[in-house]
Amino acid sequence: MNLKNFFEFNFDSLKIFLNQDLNIEEKKVLMRSKQIWQSVYKKGSFQINSLTTFPLELRSKLNNLISLEIPKIEKKQTSEDGTIKWLIKLFDKNEVECVYIPEKTRATLCISSQVGCTLNCRFCHTGTQRLVKNLSFAEIINQVMIAKEQLNDWGEQKKITNIVLMGMGEPFYNYENVRIAVGILKDKEGLNYGPKKITISTAGIANKIPEAAREIGTYLALSLHAPTDDIREMIMPINKKFKIKDLIEQCKYYSSV
């Protein structure tokens, strides 16, 4: 029997799963969902048997239905300044990168939203690769969990203080998975990153910026790279579709929400 992977649930779908598949009664579903959610996201539990807030009988049932497995690290590179880059092999054998960047007063984790990219920005290596796929929200969150596990970052004082979606891919071309992943990142019962600790970087998908302002609500970073449309179009072909004027208008809206 194929096990369901825990990281493919958001909190609402986890409650439904525990109620319908594990037959936990309605009045206890919220409590049990919080227990497993907190154990995984706050304490870094990656084994069902380590969910000690669950009775043994429930753990045994859960073991037959669900997996807490995360993808494996294919390659790790560490710089002299403490920066760490992980190449992660996903369950489908595709690979993505995430990077831990420590500074004096904070430490940032840069994560990816796609395997490859369609935008062909001249300054970006990922733009030389074809788009293979959008990452699921589980694959986005797994990058954070892998980094936290590597750094043993399960204390009250976070070692990874900031998350930026500035890795491989254009986040707004994978909008729905990014939206759900950010919701998991912000969940106070779990990873508990404030909206000002998360930044989404876009090459300028102007028509998604208002939606992100209303539904995601993190910091927004815009890759501008040029002061005029003519120059920007040479560097970033996406500017042929979304002009600088449009971007400025939508960014003004974003900052006003």
Token pair belonging to 140: 């986005």
Token pair belonging to 122: 């001249």
**Helix residue spans in the chain (DSSP H):** 11-20, 26-41, 56-63, 137-151, 175-186, 209-215, 229-235, 244-256
Asked whether the beta carbons of 163 and 141 are under 8 A apart, the reply is no
Decide if pLDDT at 171 tops 80.
yes
22 in helix, strand or coil? coil
* Helix-helix angle 26-41:11-20, to 10 degrees: 130
pLDDT score recorded for residue 53: 87
Decide if pLDDT at 19 tops 80.
yes
73 in helix, strand or coil? strand
Strands 162-165 and 114-115: unpaired
Strands 4-5 and 72-78: unpaired
Q: Read off the pLDDT of residues 64-81 as tens digits, 9 standing for 90 and up.
A: 999 999 999 999 999 999
Decide if pLDDT at 125 tops 90.
no
Decide if pLDDT at 54 tops 90.
no
Asked whether the beta carbons of 243 and 227 are under 8 A apart, the reply is no
Q: How confident is the model at residue 226 (pLDDT cuts 50, 70, 90)?
A: very high
pLDDT score recorded for residue 1: 59
Of all residues in the chain, the percent with pLDDT exceeding 70 is 100
Q: Read off the pLDDT of residues 137-167 as tens digits, 9 standing for 90 and up.
A: 999 999 999 999 999 999 989 999 999 999 9
Point out the least confidently predicted range of 112-121, 124-133, 161-170: 124-133
